Each structure stands twice: as C-alpha cells, then as structure tokens.
Amino acid sequence: WSSRFGPTCLFGTVRTSHKTGRIALFDLDQTLILTNSGFRFPQDENDWKWFSSKVPIKLKQLHAEGYAIFIISNQNSPRKITTPQVYYAQWKNKVALVAHALQDVPFRILAATAEDAYRKPLPGMWDAINIILKDEGVTINQEETFFVGDAAGRDRDHSACDRKLAVNVGLQFYTPEEYFLGKATDKFQLKGFNPSSIRQHPHYLPSQYPLVPSTKAGPVMVLFVGFPKMGKTTTYNEYFKPAGFVYVDQQALGTKSKCMKLIEDSVKDGKSVVVDNSNHDKSTRMDYTDFASGLKLPVRCIVFDGGIDLSWHNQVYQAFIKEPVDGTEVSARHLEALQDFKTSYEPPTASEKFKLKIITIFWKFKGSDEEFKRYMMWLDF
C-alpha cells in the first residue's frame, strides 16, 4: 500500500502489471465481489464472494490479452457499524484475499475514503491512474479502455456514479451484468444537475442600463444578491474594482456593524461601495437600504441568477476540479447551508427602496477549453 495520493485515496499494487495503454477498469463491490452474508456492508474481511464465477476467469483472460487491470472504489467507512481504522484494516485484508484468489493476475486498486476529488463520479481516481501510467511512459488508449461498474442509474441502483464517471472521462461503460453475464443493456437515467442544462442568456438584463452605475453625481451602493459561488466576487473584481468601488464583505469583516462602518467611511471619502453578501432576504437588504437612505446613497440591486443545483456544482468544481487543495471537503453540511438559503430566499423587488434599476446577471463559465471540459462533468456525489 502507498500513500502517494494522500490520506483520502488508498492506493495498492498487486504484482507487476503490463506497461500498456489498454486499461480494464472495474468497480469493486457489487461488480467484482458481493458480500457472502447478504448484508450491505461486509461483516469482516472474509465476508465476500465473486459476483459471478466468470469474474476470475475474465480477469485472467484480460491479463493474458495484455490489459492493465485497475480497480477503483468509493469506500466510505460505515461509522455506525465500526471505526474507520477497523473498517479499512479489514478492507485491506479483504483485498489481499481477493488478490490471492486471483493467483497470478496483477492489478492496482484505488479507493476514495472521503467526499473529495477522488470520489466517483469526480475524476480524481482516473486522474491518479493517468499520473501512474505517465510515470511509466504510458499513454492511455481511450478506444481500447473500458470501465465496468454497478452504479449505473438503473431503477435498482443506489446511484449512477460509475456511469457518470465513464461519461466524464470518455470511457466505454458496461454494467457487471452486461460484461460478465452477457445480458442486454437495462434502461437507465442519469439524474442530478447537468451543466449542459444551463440556458444561454445575455450577460445581464435589462441590458440598456449600465452594469456599473454612474458615480458622477456622487457615491452609490450596489447590493449583490444570490447563492454562493455564482460569480459575485469575480464580477466585483472585473467590473467594480476598476471603477473604484470599495468591497464590503461581511464574511471577511465579521459583523454587519463593521460593514456599516466601512460603508460610512467610504462614502465620506467620496467612494462608492459594493456589498458582497448573499443578502438573501428582504430584512437583510432593508438594513442596508435604510442605512443608504440616511447617507443619501442611491442603491442598485444586482441579482445573480441560478439556483441551488448550479451553486452546488460550482462549489464542487472550484474546490476539487479547478483548484484542488489537499484536505478540502465539500460535504452534506455545505449542502444543508444551501438548502437553508433556498428556504429563506426572498427575491428582490422594486418596492425595496432601490432607486436604480434591478439588474440580473446570468451565469456563464469563464476558463480555458480544458477547464470548460471539466466544468461540464457530472460533479454530484
């Protein structure tokens, strides 16, 4: 076992594999093996059996044909049953037993143990395989590489993460029933947020008004409203910072009173301000519009269009795909915060003392072609 890919991606090597770009990629549980007990989680390292008697025969055949075999698996520890330390020790022992049963068939195995870049359908384990093979001087032959997994979006499946990963990285995909048993393809549906569903709009509407309001008559206040990760900070940096607007962010300053103090000091200096908080409800916005009225500041509200699914997708992309950082985790806790935002959100209306026209900015991805390709992946887990 190796710690090459950090604490959240277990990496093991069994014997020496062929140096080849032809990769046979498999999920582990419900694909190569099942629990012998019939329980969802294994009772110990001995609680396993082959998915079919054809599995070891097929793996030996693939090795004889010159394929390199990789196994990738999501392996979150079932904390209600045992401790992570005990679970992963038993899991490694089970892998050793599987390796022994395969006799002289070499393979490499990776397991994602957290909700991070390695967890399928995110491409982290596939990226790791590319790194491994690149170090061996091998380039993957996509046309002769395939992936077999049980999480395929069928009615009986717990998820579609295996099929989504195959779509993400451009691999031919089979279910274990198709690959080992020769059965016909079942109906499936890939549920969840697909970024291809994002509709194309102008940058903002109504477009006849300037995005950055004129400050010739004096300072103005701009309120940003919208879900996290919808481009608010980027919009400030690209359009408002060059125009001399002061950035007011309660998350950075800590309290609303500090935000008000910065606004007041900025206006005294003749500077306009952008308030970059979520500003999700009328009451929160009223605190700022009332304060602006006392300072005789006209207020523009800019709404960043996009709901919880797009916000979550952007959050996962930024954390794990665009600028991955070891130890970063985007978990159910973050999704619950977005759910809270959705529940309490009140769309801004013209009755809220906005003297300037409300503008809506529509999400549009910005980045290189390669970044766009990865942004368009399924990133739900």
Q: Please, what are the averages of pLDDT over each run of 10 residues along the chain (381 residues)?
A: 94 93 98 93 92 98 97 86 86 96 96 93 97 96 98 96 98 98 96 91 95 96 95 96 96 93 97 92 94 96 95 92 62 77 92 94 94 95 77
d(CA 164, CA 195): 13
Q: What is the pLDDT of residue 331?
A: 58
d(CA 169, CA 325): 21
- Note whether 237 and 229 are within 8 A (CB): no
Q: What is the pLDDT of residue 278?
A: 79
Nearest to 218 by CA among 274, 292, 272, 266: 272
C-alpha torsion sign, points 222, 226, 228, 231: negative
CATH 2.60.40.10 applies to domain 204-375: no
Q: What is the pLDDT of residue 16?
A: 87
Give ranges for CATH 3.40.50.1000 in the chain.
Answer: 9-181
Task: Break the chain down into helix, strand, coil percent, rounded to 5.
Answer: 35, 15, 50
Q: What is 9-181's CATH topology?
A: Rossmann fold (3.40.50)
